[in-house]
Amino acid sequence: MYPDARLKTECDPVELPLDDATRAIARDLLDTMDSFPGCVGIAAPQIGALVRIVAIDVSGHKKAVSDHGRRVLVNPVIVSRGAERVKMREGCLSIPDFTGNVTRAESIVVEAVGLDGAPQRLECDAYEARVVLHELDHLDGLLFLDRVQHARDVFPRKRYQ
Amino acid sequence: MNQFAIAAMGTDRPGIVAAVGEAILGVGGNIDDSSMTILGGHFAMLLVVQVEGDADQLESTLRPVAEKFELMLEVRTAAMHPFSDVDRDDYVVAAYGPDKPGLVSTISRVLAGADANINDFGSRLGADHTFAMWFNVSLAEGTDTAALGEQLRAEGRDLGLDIRLYRAEVEDL
């Protein structure tokens, strides 16, 4: 949780091939994601691991168009972004004080290594693209507050739900 | 037509904007620009309006509304601008951290030192006492943005603030 300094730290790439320690972090990410109802994504620094791993799962979400299901992305890189940009109100487990309007690409292509060690290339759009971009920001020490452009785009909330 | 700035402040309650708007419309005025907020139960509004006459006439038009709602009221002649927010907020300073005295002062001092003009500024205080603020600024010509960003981060570090200076994104679609 913010203000934990690990949330503001750039994470290190994972050394390949994957070792047991990395797989343990990935499992912990998935378990943590499962422990929060409705959680659609989580990044390693959110559980205190400063490595470039995120987990996403937008399965069945009503705003999802592309839906790659439950995925662990190791060393993910955005290789392209569509020109269209959309504003959406985001919240985050790690900064429960606020929600905020953030403009992000509507579609992206992300390349990563999967939990099985195989390269993956995901074409994501709409809600899934938003989740991936939000989680990848965590790997660079960026919270959605760093993407907001105006105080009027931020809304305090009483507690995370 | 002449252009005026109207400032009004008082205890918030329903109907203030409606009453001010009706009074302006009643004398054939047009609202060109506006900003209103409520902080700590205090209503505060700044309007830029175009209307015939002078500031005293506009003030007498608004005086009954100010009295009814117990508003502090100030009317000033404004320089004519078609719209005051055109192409100016080129950079954003986002800063947040655990709330304590001196956060706003520190950042604004650094910005003033760099001759940056703050065009808009707002903050949010979260339930867990995270204080977050955004300054929309115009930087002086020739500003070294990397150096200014580093200076902001360095000053903020001592206060536990995370600070980021970035160019406001404009979507030309």
Select from B99, B124, B129 the residue whose CB has the most chain A CBs within 10 Å, as the one to mutate to test that interface.
Answer: B124
d(CA B130, CA A92): 14
pLDDT in tens, B94-152: 999 999 999 999 999 999 999 999 988 999 999 889 999 999 998 988 999 999 999 99
B118 shares a domain with B73 = no
Q: Is the pLDDT of residue B82 over 60?
A: no
Q: Where are the beta strands (DSSP E) in A34-136?
A: 41-43, 53-56, 71-81, 85-90, 98-105, 107-113, 119-125
Q: Does B94 touch chain A (CB under 8 A)?
A: yes
pLDDT digits 0-9 by tens, A86-132: 999 999 999 988 999 999 999 999 999 999 999 999 999 999 999 99
- Asked if A82 is an interface residue toward chain B (Cβ–Cβ < 8 A), one would say no
**Residue B121 domain flag:** yes
Residue with tokens 């509304």: B65
Decide: helix, strand or coil at residue A73: strand
Same domain, B6 and B68: yes
Hey, of A95, A97, A99, which one would you mutate to test binding to chain B, going by the most B CBs within 10 A of its CB? Answer: A97
**Are B73 and B95 in the same domain?**
no
Residue A89 makes CB contacts below 8 A (sequence gap 6+) with: A99, A100, A101, A102, A155
A154–B contact, CB cutoff 8 A? yes
Sheet holding A154-156, edge to edge: A85-90, A98-105, A154-156
Question: Does B71 lie in the same domain as B19?
Answer: yes
Q: Are residues B70 and B100 in the same domain?
A: no
Same domain, B69 and B18: yes
Task: Count Cβ atoms below 10 Å from residue A16 Cβ, excluding itself.
Answer: 11
Question: Is this prediction's ipTM beyond 0.90?
Answer: no
List pLDDT tens digits, range B1-22.
899 999 999 999 999 999 999 9
Residue B87 has pLDDT above 70, yes or no: no
| Residue B172, domain member (yes or no) | no
Instruction: Report residue A156's pLDDT band, with 50, 70 and 90 as the boundaries.
Output: confident
B53 occurs within a structural domain: yes
Sign of torsion over alpha carbons B113, B116, B117, B120: negative
Q: Domain for residue B173, yes or no?
A: no
pLDDT-above-90 percentage for chain A: 86
Chain B residue numbers touching A4 (CB-CB < 8 A):
none
Q: How many domains does chain B have?
A: 2
Is residue B83 assigned to a domain? no
- Domain harbouring B37, CATH code: 3.30.70.260
Same domain for B95 and B71?
A: no
pLDDT for residue B79 is more than 90:
no
Mean pLDDT rounded to a whole number for chain A: 94
Structural domain includes residue B148: yes
Query: Domains along chain A?
Result: 5-156 (3.90.45.10)
Q: Is residue B37 part of a domain?
A: yes
**Host domain of residue B32:** 2-77
Is the N-terminal amide bond of A3 cis, ω within 30° of 0? yes
Could you tell me if B69 and B132 lie in one domain? no
Minimum CA–CA partner of B131 in chain A: A97
DSSP B115: T
Residues of chain A with C-beta less than 8 angstroms from the C-beta of B132 = 97-98, 145, 151, 154
* Same domain membership, residue B10 and residue B58: yes
Reported confidence tier of residue A20, pLDDT bands at 50, 70, 90: very high
- One domain, residues B103 and B56: no
The long-range contacts involving A87-93, CB below 8 angstroms and separated by at least 24 positions, are A88/A130, A89/A155, A90/A130, A90/A134, A90/A144, A91/A157, A91/A160, A92/A134, A92/A143, A92/A144, A93/A36, A93/A39, A93/A42, A93/A46, A93/A160
Q: Which residues of B touch A142 (CB under 8 A)?
A: 164
Residue of A143 and A155 predicted with greater confidence: A143
Q: Which residues from chain B sit within 8 angstroms of residue A150, using beta carbons?
A: 92, 120, 122, 134, 136
Give A45-73 pLDDT, tens digit per residue: 999 999 999 999 999 899 999 999 999 99
Residue B70: is its pLDDT beyond 60?
A: yes
Q: How far is A77 from chain B (nearest CA, A)?
A: 22
Predicted local confidence at residue A161, as pLDDT: 44
**What percent of chain A has pLDDT above 70?**
98
The residue out of B77, B102, B129 marking a domain boundary is B77
* Short-list A109, A144, A38, A59, CA closest to B130: A144
pLDDT at A33: 95
Residue A135 falls in the annotated catalytic set: yes
Element (H, E) at B155: helix B145-157
A160 pLDDT tier (thresholds 50, 70, 90): very low
Q: Is residue B104 part of a domain?
A: yes
Nearest to A128, CA basis, from A103, A108, A100: A108
Q: CA of A59, closest CA in chain B: separation in Å?
A: 30
